[in-house]
Amino acid sequence: MKITPEDVKKVGLLARLEVGEDEVGPLTEHFNTILDYFGKMEELDLSDVDPFTVEDAEPLKLRKDEPVRWENRDAILDQSPSRQGDFIKVPRIGGDA
Amino acid sequence: MELFRLSATEVAFGVRDGRFSAEDVVRSCLSRIESKEPEIHAMLTVTAEAAIARARELDGRRSAGEDLGPLGGVPVILKDNMCTAGVKTTCASRILEEWVPPYDATVVRLLLKAGAVLLGKANMDEFAMGGSTENSAFGVTSNPWALDRVPGGSSGGSAAAVAAGYAPIALGSDTGGSIRQPASFCGVYGLKPTYGRTSRYGLVAFASSLDQIGPFARTAEDVALVMEVLGVHDPMDSTSQPVPPDDFSQALSARDLKGKRIGYLKEVAEYDYDDRMKNALSKAMKACEEAGAEMVEISLGTAIDHGLASYYILAPAEASSNLARFDGVRYGSSSKDPESLMELYLKTRKDGFGDEVKRRILTGTYVLSAGFYDAYYLKAQKVRKVIKQEFAKAFEKVDSIILPPSPTPAFKVGELIDDPIAMYMADVFTIPVNMAGLPGISINVGFSEEGLPLGVQFIAPRWGEKELLSTAAVMESRFGGAKIADGGDL
């Protein structure tokens, strides 16, 4: 199945990544080349493989779910492009805009 | 003496014994960086003043009789995807151009605790996506052995820095070969540890189930020294494993490979790749035999034939998810005066990411999207499972496996940049190791007629780093340690 420029734009929207008119052509070509390459996997019979059981899995060591005080909280907030007091300001979410 | 030529072990001993100061070493390395950097461009940030201040502090502590730690006074360079408190961490991307992390990655904390001195941050492929360090938003790094060639990638800046004598140690991250391939291209040692051996806390994630931090060095001894510092459990990373710290240096006492069985791949023998790399492999196999190892033919058909395709589904899938956090809201660059939140996301990411990163985010989003998940992502996970099983079976017969780190030596800048599939093919012999979570090391075994470094790769079962270091030590006794690139006009 061939990918079309419209498909690329649609995936771009899903990925929150605007695809410019100048980028659509090369990206479509790239997608079709790489998806053809992925087609190689078709020659494998994987019907009996359960991908989600791992025999030798190492157990995950989770930390206790308890809050930890972060000393330099301001250093994090200062990294935001638009800070207002102790909040991070973002453009309007609701409405027509 | 030019102190920048010393190994990390020699620096640590020399500083401890008072033969020279940490400041002398740091100044020697900084002056080396200053003279070579205009041609090589391996660094994105050089923290000269902070490094000198740190060295002075260490010298003061030593004078007061304090033990500085195993890396006391050793200069180190970090790939610019490891968080450093107060020092920019850009991932070679416009989107993080001005970002200054408020904390240190665990590996950084461990290095500093062990007495190391940070010299700066190395260039890389943007967000570690690439095999040549040509995908950096801040320009290409040159291979110190041949300036018109790439240093490999994505940790190309770190590999070039060690090869050029900037520092005896640099850290890189390896998702599909990004330590071993540049180590081979630049003629140094590069170890990708077992998945779970080194902490990923503070490493800006590319593909979390594959990424692993490891060292570049010019001797096996230095690799062991760094791994003793980094190979500890970190409660901040749930995938970090509580394995007991290994005495890696002990593995270096191996004088031969008697009683060892080393596997070589039927598929590699049949693979059409560069003659120079074939010769390097033959030379290394002969050296293994002379050192007493038994060479055993094994097969890893799925890993070599299908590892690459499945990796280029799984890694972008994880990348598309990991890179969703770069949205212009909490940190990083941000689109100016957007009309809506959606516009903020779309414009920030369009302007902030380079072409290869965009390609991988889109590929990842596509293979995870409704209707295509079974055809691509699920299938790739199954292939990964088969690859793991293949390795487990192979390691019933052999102690380690030898194969090339890449199909070619360092290629020319620009040679593959318009051919993504050809670029991806450069990872065909390294990717299966990440898919199975195994450790692998690349070591230099010589140079081609035109002077390009040639490496070989050894891989071992999980937690088999000592096996790799023993083999590396024996190979080093035969081929010599890695050299510093001084040649030509350099």
| pLDDT for residue B88 is more than 80 | yes
- Which range among B133-137, B277-281, B371-375 shows the weakest confidence by mean pLDDT? B371-375
pLDDT confidence of residue A71: 83
What region, left, alpha or beta, does residue A32 occupy, with left being phi > 0 and alpha being psi -120 to 50 degrees? Answer: alpha
- Amino acid of residue B90: T
Positive or negative, the Cα torsion across B269, B272, B273, B279? positive
CA-based torsion, B197, B202, B203, B204: positive or negative: positive
* Cα(B118)–Cα(B63) distance, integer angstroms: 21
Q: Percentage of chain B with pLDDT > 70?
A: 99
Confidence of residue A1 (pLDDT cuts 50, 70, 90): confident
Distances (CA, A) of B119 to B49, B53, B90, B200, B396: 9, 11, 16, 21, 43
Q: CB-CB: which of B241, B365, B382 is closest to A14?
A: B365
Whether residue B329 and residue A23 make contact (CB cut-off 8 A), yes or no, is: no
Give the C-alpha distances (Å, rounded to integers) separating A8 from A3, A26, B130. Answer: 7, 10, 22
| A27 neighbors A7 (Cβ within 8 angstroms) | no
* Chain B residues with CB-CB distance to A83 below 8 A: none
Any CB–CB contact under 8 A between B286 and chain A? no
User: Residue B347 above 80 pLDDT?
Assistant: yes
Confidence of residue B422 (pLDDT cuts 50, 70, 90): confident
Average pLDDT over residues B94-110: 96
Dist. CA A57–CA B150, nearest whole Å = 37
Nearest chain B CA: its distance from A46 CA (Å): 7
| Contact (CB, 8 A) for B380 and B316 | no
**What pLDDT is recorded for position B7?**
98
For chain B, the average pLDDT equals 96
Measured between alpha carbons, how far is B27 from B24 in angstroms, rounded to an integer? 5
> Which residue type, as a one-letter code, is found at position A52?
F
Sorted by sequence, the CB contacts under 8 Å of residue B127 that are 6+ apart come out as B81, B91, B92, B93, B204, B206, B319, B323, B357
Taking every pair of Cα atoms in chain B, the longest distance, rounded to a whole number of angstroms, is 70
Kindly indicate the confidence band of residue B487, based on its pLDDT and cuts at 50, 70 and 90.
Answer: low
**Confidence class for position B40, pLDDT limits 50, 70, 90:** very high
Give the model's pLDDT for residue A2: 87
For residue B461, which of B394, B406, B405 has the smallest C-alpha distance? B394
- Mean pLDDT within A67-74: 87
Q: What's the confidence (pLDDT) of residue B488?
A: 47
Q: What angle do CA B200, B181, B475 make, to 5 degrees?
A: 100
pLDDT of A56: 65
- Does the pLDDT at position A96 exceed 60? no
Residues in chain A: 97
Higher pLDDT, B169 or A55: B169
Query: Is the Cβ pair A58, B196 closer than 8 Å?
Result: yes
Tell me the per-residue pLDDT of B170-196, one tens digit each, with 9 for 90 and over: 999 999 999 999 999 999 999 999 999
Tokens of B79: 């790939």
Give me the residue label for tokens 């290095």: B111
Q: Please indicate whether residue B87 or residue A90 has the higher confidence score (pLDDT).
A: B87
* pLDDT band per the 50, 70, 90 thresholds, residue B449: very high
| Closest residue of chain B to A47, computed from CA coordinates | B382
Residues 88-127 of B with CB under 8 A from A: 99-100, 102
**Which is it for the CA torsion B316, B318, B321, B326, positive or negative?**
negative
Among A30, A50, A58, A64, the residue to mutate for chain B (most B Cβ within 10 A):
A58
Rounded to whole angstroms, how far apart are CA atoms B365 and B490?
44
Proportion of chain B above pLDDT 90, given as a percent: 94
Q: Which residues 345-374 on chain B approach chain A with CB closer than 8 angstroms?
A: 345-347, 349-350, 353, 358-359, 361-366, 369
Among B178, B199, B240, B333, the active-site one is: B178
* Model pLDDT for residues B252-277, shown as the tens digit of each residue: 999 999 999 999 999 999 999 999 99
- As a whole number, mean pLDDT of residues B299-320 equals 96
Q: Which residues of B touch A92 (CB under 8 A)?
A: 340-341
How far off is chain A from B154, nearest CA to CA, in Å?
20
pLDDT tens, residue by residue, B146-156: 999 999 999 99
Q: Which of B202, B194, B16 is nearest to B109 (CA)?
A: B202
Residues on chain A touching B302 (C-beta within 8 angstroms)? 44
**Contact criterion met (CB below 8 Å) for B462 and B434:** no
| pLDDT per residue as tens digits for the range A12-48 | 999 999 999 999 999 999 999 999 999 989 899 999 9
Please state the pTM of the whole predicted model: 0.97
What pLDDT is attached to residue A95?
62
Contact A80 B330 (CB under 8 A): yes
Taking CA atoms, what residue in A is nearest to B365? A15
Nearest to A34 among B312, B340, B462 (CB): B312
Cβ B238–A61 below 8 Å, yes or no? yes
Residue B352's pLDDT is: 96
Could A62 and B238 be called an inter-chain contact, meaning their C-beta atoms sit closer than 8 Å? Answer: yes
Nearest chain A Cα to B310, which residue? A38
Res B423: pLDDT: 87
Average pLDDT over residues B12-35: 98
Query: Is the pLDDT at B250 greater than 90, yes or no?
Result: yes
Closest-CA residue of chain A to B102:
A75
Backbone angles phi, psi at B476, to 5 degrees: -65, -35
Q: Determine contact, residues A92/A85, Cβ cutoff 8 Å.
A: no
Q: Assess whether B154 carries a catalytic annotation.
A: yes
Rg (CA), chain B: 21
The complex scores an ipTM of 0.93
Residue in B344, B376, B462 closest to A38 by CB:
B376
